[in-house]
Amino acid sequence: FQKHYFPIDYTVRVQYEEVLRPSNITRLRNGTVSEVALRYLWFHVSSQAVLRIREVLLEKHPSWRYTQEL
């Protein structure tokens, strides 16, 4: 059981620069950043998050196929 599932308190370490906070998005939206640039930023951050999850996710984990499709 444990080799296919993570413990409840399992965390993935990320760098400070990898965290996108809502206050940063609001600041960008109120600034001169275009909506297209914000959408690209959101896509990039989301795809990088999926890649980080895939690095630690075990192949027999129930979410493996779902993250592969993403």
pLDDT one digit per residue (tens) for the chain, 70 residues: 556 666 667 777 877 777 778 888 888 888 888 989 989 988 988 888 888 888 888 777 778 888 888 7
* CA-based torsion, 36, 41, 46, 50: positive or negative: positive
pLDDT of residue 30: 87
**Domain range summary for the chain, segments of one domain joined by +:** 16-69
Distance CA 53, CA 39 (A): 21
